[in-house]
Amino acid sequence: MSEARAVEWKPVGKVSEWPEQGGRQVLIGARRIGVYRWADAWYALKDICPHAGVQLSRGPVEDGKVMCVGHGWLFDLASGEAEGMGGFSVATYPVRLSDDGTVEVGV
């Protein structure tokens, strides 16, 4: 049995840098991650559509989902699952806010 790897928290910006109901891309090493603020919660997804390779964070966010602007697929911010697309999904990452308003992503 292997041990679970500890999450390493990386600062990616201040809360004020995000739209109220949307996302933007951050880079953590070689990882491209879309970080989203939606309905007073925070989410992070791998920022590449598995179907079209498009940057997901360029798409609009509505009803807790981000739309890929390549072909209109909808990805759930909480689970990373593509709605109605038979098992396609993107990785998710934990997000937290520090006391000073810094957004941190766990990798």
Residue whose C-alpha is closest to residue 34's, from 96, 98, 87, 95: 95
- For the stretch 4-22, pLDDT in tens is 679 999 999 999 999 989 9
pLDDT at 64: 96
Tokens standing for residue 29 = 């090493």
- For the stretch 50-105, pLDDT in tens is 987 899 999 999 999 999 999 899 999 999 999 988 889 999 999 999 999 999 99
Interior angle at CA 74, CA 73 and CA 77, nearest 5: 145
Identify the CATH class of 9-106. Answer: mainly beta
Sort strands 41-46 and 92-93 into parallel, antiparallel or unpaired: antiparallel
CA distance 86 to 70: 18
pTM strictly above 0.85: yes
CA distance 107 to 59: 23
Domain range summary for the chain, segments of one domain joined by +: 9-106
pLDDT at 86: 83
